[in-house]
Amino acid sequence: MAKATKPADVRLKTADELQTQLLNLRKEQFNLRFQRATGQLEGVGRVREVRRDIARVKTILSEKQRASATTSAGHARPAAN
């Protein structure tokens, strides 16, 4: 079984690679849920790892999107008083 993904490893990937990883993690999550429902799941801790890996990938994807939006827009908008 695969180990949990470290944030530093995830940050090195491109947005396309992260989208692919997210898709694979969601497929794995579906399979694990199906196994749990049918009573075939042995490694129950993997469900938690996959759920956290999904959250980790989604967080870093949104960080990258926010960073690219900020750099493409030029400067950040000043705070309204």
Query: Are the beta carbons of 74 and 25 closer than 8 angstroms?
Result: no
The pTM (predicted TM-score) of the whole model is 0.79
Question: Position 79: which residue type?
Answer: A
CA distance 58 to 19: 9
Q: What is the pLDDT of residues 45-80, one digit of tens each?
A: 999 999 999 999 999 999 998 988 888 776 656 666
pLDDT at 1 over 50: no
CA distance 35 to 46: 12
| pLDDT higher than 60, residue 2 | no
Query: Which domains are present in the chain?
Result: 8-66 (1.10.287.310)
Q: What is the dihedral of CA 25, 29, 30, 34, to 10 degrees?
A: 150
